[in-house]
Structure 1
Amino acid sequence: MLTTLAIGNYRSMLDLTVSLEPLNVITGANGSGKSNLYRALRLLAATARGDVIAALANEGGLASTFWAGPETLTRSMRDGSAPVQGSPRRHAQRLRLGFSDEDYGYLIELGLPKPDVTTAFNLDPEIKREVIWAGPSYRPANALIDRNGPLVKIREGRRWRVISHHLNSFDSLFSQVADARVTPEILTLRERIRGWRFYDHFRTDNEAPARQVQLSTRTPVLHHDGHDLAAALETIREIGDAAALDNAIEDAFPGARLSITPSDDGRLRLTLHQHGLLRPLTAAELSDGTLRYLLLVAALLTPRPPSLMVLNEPENSLHPDLLPALARLIGQASRHGQVWVVSHASQLVAALNELPDCHGIELEKTLGETRIQDQEILDTPSWQWP
């Protein structure tokens, strides 16, 4: 479980440190930075897959992701006694992302390269620094692995040993020096991060993958596009919590019953029997909201819970009457793994905040900077960048 997330110089986040719990609900007004927080976490996940550079390119390039305000927002700027204005930059621009969990912490710093006439990739960001440490926050004394430019060193007792002098600027530790014998911490963190799940692109239009009949294969983890919905629901029924599945359907649609039937050609057919109808409805006939709710059920009741699941605006297309049932389903999932919900639906947020151990994080924007509303200095988790 992540305990702290830190973001520096990324879009509207000049310097943000967030404390985390098993169930976290991120909310705030439009434009407050909810999407930026979500995208920062996705960039962290991309480092473990080895494609953080490509992920930044998809965002328009590193330069476009940098904080657009002054390098430092002074106290006088914040209280309005001085105008917001820039000054000569004292430090090189770096995009900084980091987190700590119950065992380890990790951070990455990315910057722009020096102009080089020998390459056509002068806009590709470079990985300037990566550090893995033991404990809740970075300190030089608890660092285990330190990558500075092309140089990678690991701690052996009280000494450091260099294990690489020539790591490419576009390659992360996770893709190049993960070794079970030499650097088990890298391998452990890489697999943890690769296990994070993000659900934010469930389509419900007429051509949505979830509406199509698919070949059946056991599916303990729903795909991010939901094309294997019928197989995922049947897998829950066979090897997961079938009672929870039936309860989730009954909670949202009283008197309804879900059926998954195999055909002779190895395909699964999803139908929903609803009270008052003379025949069941197929996936192609379901309303957008009903289909999205079934997709969320399949994701949240997975027989293989991840260490972290992130739902971005799950309320889209859902009727308000379904939101309390969704909140109860999310609360149930948070007992098996950490869950983040990014939402602007006040009814869903209110229902989630009524759950025990729910950690509400309300964002606000001041002078273009995303901050946590009412967060005092004493409430800010301990965090230090190298």
Structure 2
Amino acid sequence: MLTTLAIENYRSLRRLVMPLRRLNVVTGANGTGKSSLYRALRLLADASRNGAVAALAREGGLPSTLWAGPENISKAVRRGEQPIQGTVRTKSVSLRMGFASDDYGYAMDLGLPRPPAGAFALDPEIKREVLWAGPFLRPASLLVERGNGGVRIRDGDGEWHDGGHQLQPFDSMLSEFADPERAPELLTLRERMRSWRFYDHLRTDADAPARQVQIGTRTTILGPEGADVAAALQTIREIGPRGALDEAIEQAFPRSKVEIRTDGGRFEVAFHQHGLLRPLTGAELSDGTLRYLLWVAALLTPRPPALLVLNEPETSLHPDLLPALANLVVTAAKDTQVIAVTHSRPFLAALQAGSEETGLDLQVLELIKEFGQTAIEGQRPLDEPPWKWPSR
């Protein structure tokens, strides 16, 4: 389980060091940085697949994603005695992301390419990567480090050894240097990060794949758009917790049930609703009903990830469905760490009630804006978890 998440210089996240627990709810007004936090987490996950640089390039390159305010905000500005003005940069351009858990920590530092950059001038370079043991970065806890394209590995006796080959500035050591013999910790961390699951674009529009009949196979992980929802629901029914699917439907839609019809390997949702003479197909379901079924398929997964990140799961749902959705999230958090981003107070209240009932460790993190930068409400500098960035 992650205990700390740290982001620096990504959009409004000028410096954010966030403590994490089993179930974390990130909330706040519009424009406070919730979406930036979600996207930063996705960038970290992309690093395990060697996709962080490409993802940043798609956002317009490093200059478009960096903190747009001044390098320093003086006390006079904070007191309102002077306007915010640009200052002469004294530090290298740097976007840094990292996290720590009880066993391992990881940090990545991205910067501008060295001239001449050629045709790929918007591609940032990975300047530094480190993996360490334990929750805090210390020289003695370093296991693998990357700098200037080279990788060094520390053996069991504490001696450093050259990794043997140079990395390209756009390649992460997570994807390119996972040696199961010399650096098994790097391989363990890479696979753990690759298991992270993100849901922010479950489609329910008229042309959504979830509304169509689909070829089905055993589906332990719902796809990012929910196209395989019928197969995922049937998989939960067959190998998931006994009765969990029917219970989730009953809580949201009393006296209703979901049937998965199959014909020649093609799967289709049939929703039996109390009072109707025939079941509704996926094409006939309302946006809210289909979205709830998608969340059932995602959150009752028989194969829980190391981290599950949900972006505004309450979207399109009627307030009466929020307690049932909250129950699904709390149930999922028993087997995996969850970060839920929401601006719905009723959904937050339902999550709090569910966590109190089950004794689950829930943490609410409310984001605010101070001089354009995202901060955690009530968190003072001494309240931050211990965190240190690796030097270049």
TM bracket (short chain): over 0.9
| Structure 2 residue aligned with 1:274 | 273
> Offset of 1:236 from its aligned partner?
0.3
Q: Deviations over 1:43-87 (max 9, x none)?
A: 000000111111111212111111011112233333334432232
| Structure 2 residue aligned with 1:148 | 147
Structure 1: gaps spanning 5 or more residues: none
1:138 pairs with 2:137: yes
Matched residues in 1 for 2:81 and 2:159: separation? 50
> Offset of 1:131 from its aligned partner?
0.4
Structure 2: gaps spanning 5 or more residues: none
Contact 1:150–1:164, Cα closer than 8 Å, also in 2: no
Q: Deviations over 1:325-380 (max 9, x none)?
A: 10111001100000111011111012112323211010000100000001123321
Quick one: which amino acid aligns to residue 85 of structure 1?
Answer: Q
1:379 pairs with 2:383: yes
| Structure 2 residue aligned with 1:77 | 77
Alignment of structure 1 residues 124-203 onto 2, 5 Å: 124-156=123-155, 157-164=157-164, 166-203=166-203
Quick one: which amino acid aligns to residue 384 of structure 1?
Answer: K
Contact 2:144–2:154, Cα closer than 8 Å, also in 1: yes
- Cα RMSD of the aligned pairs, angstroms, is 1.2
Alignment partner of 1:269: what SS?
strand
Matched residues in 2 for 1:349 and 1:80: separation? 34
Alignment of structure 1 residues 346-361 onto 2, 5 Å: 346-354=345-353, 355-356=355-356, 357-361=361-365
1:343 pairs with 2:347: no
| Structure 2 residue aligned with 1:241 | 241
Quick one: which amino acid aligns to residue 375 of structure 2?
Answer: R
Alignment partner of 2:254: what SS?
coil
Given the alignment, which residue of 360, 368, 371 partners 1:367? 371
Matched residues in 1 for 2:369 and 2:220: separation? 39
Give the paired residue count: 384
Alignment of structure 1 residues 32-71 onto 2, 5 Å: 32-71=32-71
1:25 pairs with 2:25: yes
For normalisation by structure 1, the TM-score amounts to 0.97
Quick one: which amino acid aligns to residue 126 of structure 1?
Answer: E
Alignment partner of 1:40: what SS?
helix
Question: Are residues 165 and 78 of structure 1, via their aligned partners in 2, closer, same or farther at CA, if it must alter by over 3 Å?
Answer: farther
Matched residues in 1 for 2:103 and 2:73: separation? 33
Query: Percent of aligned pairs with the same residue?
Result: 59
Q: Deviations over 1:190-232 (max 9, x none)?
A: 0000000001111101110100101121111111111110000
Quick one: which amino acid aligns to residue 384 of structure 2?
Answer: T
Q: Deviations over 1:92-113 (max 9, x none)?
A: 0100000012210000000111
Contact 2:212–2:282, Cα closer than 8 Å, also in 1: yes
Contact 1:8–1:16, Cα closer than 8 Å, also in 2: yes
Contact 1:353–1:359, Cα closer than 8 Å, also in 2: no
> Offset of 1:115 from its aligned partner?
2.0
| Structure 1 residue aligned with 2:2 | 2
Alignment partner of 2:48: what SS?
helix
Alignment partner of 1:49: what SS?
coil
> Offset of 1:137 from its aligned partner?
1.8
Quick one: which amino acid aligns to residue 127 of structure 2?
Answer: K
Which stretch of the first structure deviates more once superposed, 282-291 or 108-117?
A: 108-117
Contact 1:102–1:136, Cα closer than 8 Å, also in 2: yes
> Offset of 1:33 from its aligned partner?
0.2
> Offset of 1:290 from its aligned partner?
0.3
Alignment partner of 2:88: what SS?
coil
